[in-house]
């Protein structure tokens, strides 16, 4: 019989260091399910239906998805966004569940779900533990600018997510990433 597998939901605001923590955990042999990656991986499966609903303009010359074209059409109105979600969400949910099941079948005791919108979407409820990576907003803006975003874009994206206090309140474990990467590494090592 397979033992119980602990599900850790890893989240944090944009630019907080989720991917950095996920990388540290993966280096320690813990499997990580990357929600952004899942959303990208189901695109080929969704493509025929997206084409039917949004038209041939969303397909690039090489047959792949033209993301900018889809975004223009799908975010033009709430009804269009609803149609996009109706296609993507079930595929994403299915693929995510398949990856959890695969980790369980492989016998892992712990799996990490790296999901930026974990608390925003209420998915923290399905986790055994919620880890939130926290960085003060002004430091996040600085790091996002260093990564190539404009200050305006960084602030706009941060404002589109739930607030830090609400996200942090959902945390079983709060990782403080205001310091150095070595500081963060020490916190992760103490936990996993
Ligand atoms: P996103 O939500 O945009 O995917 P994220 O939460 O996954 O972001 P990371 O990509 O891990 O965050 O980190 C954001 C940026 O900050 C990266 O460029 C990363 O290298 C840098 N960074 C992370 N931790 C630190 C730190 N302690 N000191 C300095 N820079 C850091």
pLDDT in tens, 134-170: 999 999 999 999 999 999 999 999 999 999 999 999 9
Residue 148 DSSP SS3: coil
The residue count for the chain = 192
CA of 171 to the centre of ligand 1 (A): 19
14 lines ligand 1 (CB under 6 A): yes
Structural domain total, the chain: 1
Residue tagged 């990490």 (tokens): 112
Of residues 114, 168, 104, the one with CA closest to residue 137: 168
Structure tokens belonging to residue 156:
């706009």
In a domain, 20, yes or no: yes
In a domain, 1, yes or no: no
In a domain, 86, yes or no: yes
pLDDT in tens, 38-89: 999 999 999 999 999 999 999 999 999 999 999 999 999 999 999 999 999 9
CATH number at residue 78: 3.40.50.300
In a domain, 134, yes or no: yes
| Boundaries of domain holding 154 | 6-191
pTM exceeds cut of 0.85: yes
CA of 98 to the centre of ligand 1 (A): 28
Estimate to the nearest angstrom the gap between the alpha carbon of 77 and the chain centroid: 24
Q: What gap in Å lies between CA 11 and CA 22, rounded to an integer? A: 10
In a domain, 57, yes or no: yes
């Amino acid at each position: 019989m397979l033992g119980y597998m602990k599900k850790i939901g890893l989240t944090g605001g944009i630019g907080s260091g989720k991917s950095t923590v996920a990388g540290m955990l993966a280096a320690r042999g813990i499997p990580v399910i990357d929600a952004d990656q899942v959303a990208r991986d189901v695109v080929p499966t969704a493509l025929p239906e997206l084409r039917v609903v949004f038209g041939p303009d969303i397909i690039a010359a090489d047959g792949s998805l033209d993301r900018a074209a889809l975004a223009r059409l799908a975010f033009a109105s709430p009804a269009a966004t609803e149609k996009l979600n109706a296609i993507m969400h079930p595929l994403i949910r299915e693929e995510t569940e398949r990856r959890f099941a695969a980790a369980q079948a492989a016998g892992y005791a712990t799996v990490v779900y790296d999901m930026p919108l974990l608390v925003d979407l209420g998915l923290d409820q399905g986790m055994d533990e919620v880890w939130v990576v926290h960085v003060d907003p002004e430091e996040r803006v600085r790091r996002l600018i260093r990564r190539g975003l404009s200050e305006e874009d960084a602030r706009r994206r941060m404002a589109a997510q739930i607030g830090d206090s609400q996200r942090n309140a959902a945390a079983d474990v709060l990782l403080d990433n205001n310091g150095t990467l070595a500081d963060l590494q020490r916190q992760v090592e103490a936990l996993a």
